Amino acid sequence: MPETAPRSMFEKLLYLGIATFFLWPFVQLWSVKALPLFESDGHLRASVALENLMESALSRPFERSYTSGFEPVKGCEDLDLMGRIEVLVHPDFPASVLVRAQVRWGMFPLVKSLNLECLKARTRP
C-alpha cells in the first residue's frame, strides 16, 4: 500500500478555492493600483518636475540638436530626481524638431522614469 494516496479532484478544487480566498484581496489591490509599490507622492512630484523641464526646454533658443546629460532637478534632491532634455530632428518631418524631456528616480533595480515629447516647428503661426 502506498504511503499516501493521491488527492481527489474535489480536494484539489478545495485547495484552489482556499488559495483564491487568500490571494483575492491582493488581486483587488492590484486592480485599483493601491499597492504601496507605486509611490504616489513621488510620482506626482516627478510628473510636475517633468512638466517644468519640458517648459524650460521649450523656452530655450531654437536648436536643431541638443542633448544634455542627466542632471539633478532642483528642489527634488530628496527623491534623487535626475532630468534630461533632448532636442533632435524629427525622423519623419525634417522641418520640425522633437523635444523630449525625461526624468528618472529610484535605485537600480527599481528605477522609474517618465518621458514627455513635444513637436516644435521652426516658424510660429
Which residues of the chain form contacts with another protein (CB under 8 A)? 1, 3-5, 15, 18-19, 22-23, 25-26, 34, 40-41, 44, 48, 51-52, 55-56, 58-59, 75
In total, the chain counts a number of residues equal to 125
Rounded to whole angstroms, how far apart are CA atoms 125 and 121?
A: 9
The candidate with the shortest Cα–Cα distance to 102, out of 60, 59, 68, 62, is 68
Minimum separation from the CB atom of position 25 to another protein (A): 6
- Which three-class secondary structure state does DSSP give residue 93? coil
Minimum separation from the CB atom of position 91 to another protein (A): 24
Minimum separation from the CB atom of position 79 to another protein (A): 13
